[in-house]
């Protein structure tokens, strides 16, 4: 009888959905992760407590794979690697080794996607060559969150009214003022895509995605966050005081920029789901190896029925999560059939898989740690690192709760501002 396996390599269903070149890229990435990242996972993280030298070297080693600029259209020197499916599968591969390596790369991808979606030639011609050269690391930054909160920027119900960073036209330039927080690659990036508003009272019509190029006058980097997990990627804050950029560096225009922003959110959530499953797979590989060698009551730990049941729960989360994100990515990539990337059904599916896969990864790493006993909690093994990385993923992209609200919007007309006459009556001091 043929052996049934959840091994990634044997997932024929997924392989059949990919082009031959994407399959090749995935397999080279898998080899890279196996040979270059897995053996130095611990050292990579240690270097984040000093000079990030190893992290930067690893980013440099990734350059020949073409991931830095591969997401750009072929006419701009990229590989046309625009599909959510291939990107999420790549994220899973890298996530199994060190998710933060992909998180840093994704900064460029997410920064440039609005310009690609809008077909903004000025932005693409200016920045694409920086990403597609393979001599040096060139990072991008998608700056949405603000010091007052990230969710109010991302919450579709608020329709851009929560954005404080302003963009105003003056003398043929956009003039940016405000502050951003928690943006990956802030202070390191060459290009920033900044989520602004031209006038918050206009709602979605006021949302403006404006590009800035470092170094620039009026820009101040505020430092990086000291995180527990995903330490190899750096998130930080910045301030803009009258930063001027060319008028053509707005991604598209009124209304369309808000759509591109939502589509980017959906895309980012699918990628986060892929990363989460990579982390969970890494933890499963670790715990399977440990519980094979480690004995309890005369037999390997994994041969105890209760432990097999826990391993089954981990494996089920991975398998179902992988199938779910593959399905969401497949639909994202076919807007003519399933709806545009910014549409409610797509944002709902993307959010659902992000929530499910992050929860699965947190559960998997937590259970793996329990099966390894005290050794699950020490840095000699990698499960505790995966555990910290999984939690960080859950907190990004609107956090655990906003993503749930976005998921449920696909089921019914959830409206957090639902008119409630009873509340208004009570607030107004009336009695029932
Ligand atoms: C590892 C990491 C990487 C990141 N990378 C980037 C990046 O590249 N670019 C960027 O712009 N930002 C980035 N962020 C920021 C991230 O997107 C925000 O953390 C996220 O949007 C949540 O914002 P917040 O942390 O300010 O939480 P808040 O907005 O203060 O929310 C706090 C909690 O309240 C919940 N909540 C918020 N609104 C509602 C509501 N209406 N109803 C119910 N619950 C609600 C949230 O889900 C969350 O649980 C990153 C964060 C992390 C952790």
Domain with CATH 1.10.540.10 in the chain: 8-132
**Omega before 215 cis (within 30°)?**
yes
How far does Cα 86 stand from its chain's mean position? 14
- Express each pLDDT in 54-81 by its tens digit: 999 999 999 999 999 999 999 999 999 8
CA distances in angstroms from 75 to 78, 81, 116, listed in the order given: 7, 12, 11
* Phi, psi (rounded to 5 degrees) for 249: -90, 15
**Å from CA of 281 to ligand 1 middle:** 25
DSSP states along 47-69: HTTTT-HHHHHHHHHHGGGTTTT
Residues 161-193: tens digit of each pLDDT: 999 999 999 999 999 999 999 999 999 999 999
**Separation CA 421–CA 412 (nearest Å):** 21
Tokens standing for 253? 């225009």
Burial of 158 (0-12, 13-18, 19+ CB in 10 A): middle
ipTM for this model: 0.98
Our answer on whether the CB atom of 153 is closer than 6 Å to any ligand 1 atom is no
| DSSP-assigned states of every residue in 145-170 | -BTTBSHHHH-GGGTTTT---EEEEE
Which protein residue has the closest C-alpha to ligand 1 atom 7? 183
User: How far does residue 394's CA lie from ligand 1's centre (Å)?
Assistant: 9
- Expressed in angstroms, the distance from the first to the final Cα of the chain is 70
**Torsion (CA) 27, 28, 34, 40 in degrees, nearest 10:** -150
Chain CA centroid to CA 293, Å: 35
Q: What is the pLDDT of residue 418?
A: 86
Place of tokens 């999984």: 390
Tokens of 335: 């807007």
Q: How many CB atoms neighbour CB 311 within 10 A? A: 20
Most ligand 1 atoms within 8 A of CB, residue of 105, 141, 182, 418 to mutate: 182
Atom of ligand 1 nearest to the CA of 180: 11
Q: Does ligand 1 come within 6 angstroms of the Cβ of 156? A: no
CB 167 within 8 A of CB 175: yes
Mean pLDDT of the chain: 95
β 191-197/140-143 pair status: parallel
> Which CATH number does 8-132 carry?
1.10.540.10
Does any ligand 1 atom lie closer than 6 A to the CB of residue 182? yes
CATH 2.40.110.10 residue window(s) in the chain: 140-253
- Tell the CATH superfamily of the 140-253 domain: Butyryl-CoA Dehydrogenase, subunit A, domain 2 (2.40.110.10)
Q: Is 399 in the pocket of ligand 1 (CB under 6 A)?
A: yes
Q: Is 99 in the pocket of ligand 1 (CB under 6 A)?
A: no
CA-to-CA distance for 350 and 267, rounded, in angstroms? Answer: 7
Summarize pLDDT for 97-155 with one digit per residue, the tens: 999 999 999 999 999 999 999 999 999 999 999 999 989 999 999 999 999 999 999 99
Helix, coil or strand: residue 246: strand
pLDDT (average), residues 213-219: 97
Are residues 294 and 263 in contact, defined by beta-carbon separation less than 8 angstroms?
no
Q: Which of 101, 276, 395, 417 to mutate to test the pocket of ligand 1 (most atoms within 8 A of CB)?
A: 395
CATH superfamily of the domain spanning 257-408? Butyryl-CoA Dehydrogenase, subunit A, domain 3 (1.20.140.10)
Task: Give me the phi and psi of 141, to 5 degrees please.
Answer: -140, 125
Distance CA 350, CA 273 (A): 8
Peptide bond into 238 cis (omega under 30): no
Q: Does the CB atom of residue 165 touch ligand 1 within 6 A?
A: no
Tell me, what's the pLDDT at 8? Answer: 58
Q: Are 339 and 255 in contact (CB under 8 A)?
A: no
- What pLDDT is attached to residue 398? 86
Q: Which of 177, 79, 94, 189 lies closest to 142 in space, CA to CA?
A: 189
Lowest average pLDDT, out of 190-194, 264-268, 378-382, goes to 378-382
Phi, psi of 15 (to 5 degrees): -55, -40
pLDDT score of 2: 43
Pocket test for ligand 1, best of 106, 113, 145 (most atoms within 8 A of CB): 145
């Amino acid at each position: 009888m043929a052996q049934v396996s959840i091994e990634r390599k044997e997932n024929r269903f997924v392989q059949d959905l990919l082009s031959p070149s994407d399959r090749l890229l995935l397999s080279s990435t898998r080899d890279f992760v196996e040979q270059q990242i897995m053996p130095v996972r611990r050292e990579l993280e240690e270097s984040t407590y000093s000079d990030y030298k190893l992290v930067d070297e690893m980013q440099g080693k990734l350059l020949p794979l073409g991931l830095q600029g591969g997401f750009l259209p072929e006419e701009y020197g990229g590989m046309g690697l625009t599909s959510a499916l291939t990107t999420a599968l790549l994220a899973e591969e890298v996530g199994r080794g060190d998710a933060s390596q992909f998180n840093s790369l994704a900064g460029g991808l997410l920064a440039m996607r609005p310009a690609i979606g809008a077909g903004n030639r000025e932005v693409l011609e200016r920045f694409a060559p920086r990403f597609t050269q393979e001599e040096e690391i060139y990072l991008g930054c998608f700056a949405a969150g603000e010091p007052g909160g990230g969710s109010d920027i991302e919450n579709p119900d608020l329709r851009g009214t929560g954005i404080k960073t302003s963009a105003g036209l003056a003398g043929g330039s956009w003039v940016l003022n405000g502050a951003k927080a928690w943006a990956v690659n802030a202070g390191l990036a060459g290009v920033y895509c900044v989520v602004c508003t031209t006038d918050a009272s206009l709602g979605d019509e006021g949302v403006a995605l404006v590009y800035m190029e470092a170094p620039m006058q009026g820009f101040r980097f505020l430092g990086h966050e000291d995180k527990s997990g995903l330490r190899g990627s750096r998130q930080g804050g910045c301030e803009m005081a009258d930063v001027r950029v060319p008028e053509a560096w707005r991604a598209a225009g009124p209304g369309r920029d808000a759509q591109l922003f939502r589509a980017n959110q959906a895309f980012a959530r699918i990628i986060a789901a892929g990363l989460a499953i990579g982390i969970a797979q890494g933890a499963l590989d670790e715990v399977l190896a440990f519980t094979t060698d480690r004995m309890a009551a005369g037999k390997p730990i994994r041969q105890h029925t209760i432990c097999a049941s826990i391993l089954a729960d981990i494996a089920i989360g991975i398998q179902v999560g992988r199938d779910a994100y593959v399905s969401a990515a497949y639909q994202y990539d076919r807007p003519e059939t399933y709806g545009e990337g910014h549409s409610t059904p797509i944002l709902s599916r993307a959010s659902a898989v992000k929530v499910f896969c992050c929860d699965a990864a947190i559960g998997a790493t937590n259970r793996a740690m329990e099966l390894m006993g005290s050794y699950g909690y020490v840095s000699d093994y990698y499960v505790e690192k995966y555990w910290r990385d999984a939690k960080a993923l859950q907190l990004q992209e609107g956090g655990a709760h906003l993503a749930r609200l976005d998921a449920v919007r696909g089921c019914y007309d959830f409206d957090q501002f639902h008119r409630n006459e009873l509340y208004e009556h009570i607030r107004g001091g009336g009695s029932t």
